[in-house]
């Protein structure tokens, strides 16, 4: 429950910041347009009264700055940001549905967890530069029956993904985050890798489970039917999670649960 509250609060704050930026941009554009329109009207009035060539040159210059194409480009930028905000809202709605409804169950389907993780990634993408290398790959066989059965603990992918965005080096040219989802042979796999930042991450009073707590959770639920490896190679942190759901299901059936 602590993770759900923390995640919901972080998403709400991120959404509020996005909406504030979009509103500020639109207000600034309206103010700029009003000022430009008033100035143009003033210059036109002076031109009509005085017929001064200098005023005509200023007016022509103002007209060029109010060129419809230029104005359209500005509107496109605002619209693009507004679409990004709408897109984030849509993803946030999906994440909240998962938190409020699906995650209340003891288990979710791998399909539900993957869809939740993809929405979480899209929300995190907002704070990245367009040039940042974020690679998300899907190697999933959706035809396998266990992909649609409730065998996966909810939020099993959250900490690995959040840690990547938290600790990644977002400034260097070779920075990247790589996230690979796999589901084959009734086995769920998640591999997350990121270039490690030299700067220490900002400490927060509240956070997620943490990888240590995640490993304990995996041991309690899946016993010896999983592997969770973490290592650093060439300043790249790699986390690999593998859960054999077929073996786990057989154990559950044998136990009569």
Q: Which CATH number characterizes residue 133's domain? A: 3.30.565.10
pLDDT at 17: 66
pLDDT at 71: 45
Q: Are 133 and 175 in contact, with CB atoms under 8 Å apart?
A: yes
Q: What is the pLDDT along the chain (257 residues), one digit of tens a residue?
A: 555 546 566 666 666 666 667 676 666 666 666 666 666 666 566 555 555 454 444 434 444 444 454 445 445 544 555 666 667 777 778 878 887 777 778 899 999 999 999 998 988 887 777 788 999 999 999 999 999 999 999 989 988 998 898 887 777 778 899 999 999 999 999 999 998 876 655 444 444 446 788 888 898 899 899 999 999 988 899 999 999 999 998 887 777 65
Do 149 and 232 have their domain in common?
yes
Pick the last residue of a domain from 50, 74, 100. 100
Q: Are 236 and 194 in contact, with CB atoms under 8 Å apart?
A: yes
Do 151 and 241 have their domain in common?
yes
Q: Which residues pair with 229 in a beta bridge?
A: 240
Do 124 and 209 have their domain in common?
yes
For the chain, the domain total comes to: 2
Do 49 and 116 have their domain in common?
no
Q: How far apart are CA 113 and CA 101, in angstroms?
A: 13
pLDDT at 208: 43
pLDDT at 59: 39
pLDDT at 126: 76
pLDDT at 79: 54
pLDDT at 123: 82
Do 140 and 196 have their domain in common?
yes
Pick the last residue of a domain from 75, 100, 125. 100
Do 124 and 65 have their domain in common?
no
Pick the last residue of a domain from 60, 82, 100. 100
Q: Are 82 and 22 in contact, with CB atoms under 8 Å apart?
A: yes
CA dihedral 148, 150, 153, 158 (to 10 degrees): 30
Do 47 and 132 have their domain in common?
no
Q: How far apart are CA 204 and CA 5, in angstroms?
A: 14
Domain span at 170: 107-254
pLDDT at 22: 64
Do 158 and 89 have their domain in common?
no
Do 95 and 215 have their domain in common?
no
Question: Could you tell me which of 155, 148, 143, 157 has the C-alpha nearest to residue 110?
Answer: 148
pLDDT tens digit string along 94-110? 878 887 777 778 899 99
């Amino acid at each position: 429950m602590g993770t759900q509250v923390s995640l919901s609060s972080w998403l709400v704050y991120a959404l509020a910041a996005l909406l504030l930026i979009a509103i500020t941009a639109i207000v600034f554009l309206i103010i700029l347009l009003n000022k430009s329109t008033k100035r143009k009207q003033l210059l036109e009035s002076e031109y009509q009264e005085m017929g001064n060539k200098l005023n005509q040159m200023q007016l022509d210059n103002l007209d060029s700055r109010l060129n419809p194409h230029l104005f359209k480009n500005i509107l496109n930028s605002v619209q693009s940001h507004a679409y990004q905000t709408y897109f984030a809202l849509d993803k946030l709605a999906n994440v909240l549905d998962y938190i409020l409804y699906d995650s209340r169950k003891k288990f979710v389907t791998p399909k539900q967890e993957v869809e939740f993780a993809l929405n979480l990634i899209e929300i995190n993408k907002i704070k990245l530069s367009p040039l940042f290398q974020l690679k998300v790959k899907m190697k999933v066989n959706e035809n396998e029956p266990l992909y649609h059965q409730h065998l996966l603990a909810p939020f099993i992918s959250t900490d690995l993904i959040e840690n990547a965005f938290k600790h990644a080096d977002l400034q260097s040219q070779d920075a990247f985050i790589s996230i690979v989802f796999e589901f084959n042979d009734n086995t769920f796999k998640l591999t997350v890798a990121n270039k490690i930042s030299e700067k220490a991450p900002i400490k927060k009073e509240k956070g997620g489970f943490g990888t240590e707590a995640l490993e304990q959770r995996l041991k309690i639920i899946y016993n010896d039917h999983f592997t969770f490896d973490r290592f650093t190679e060439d300043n790249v942190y790699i986390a690999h999670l593998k859960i054999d759901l077929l073996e786990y299901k057989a154990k559950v059936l044998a136990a009569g649960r």
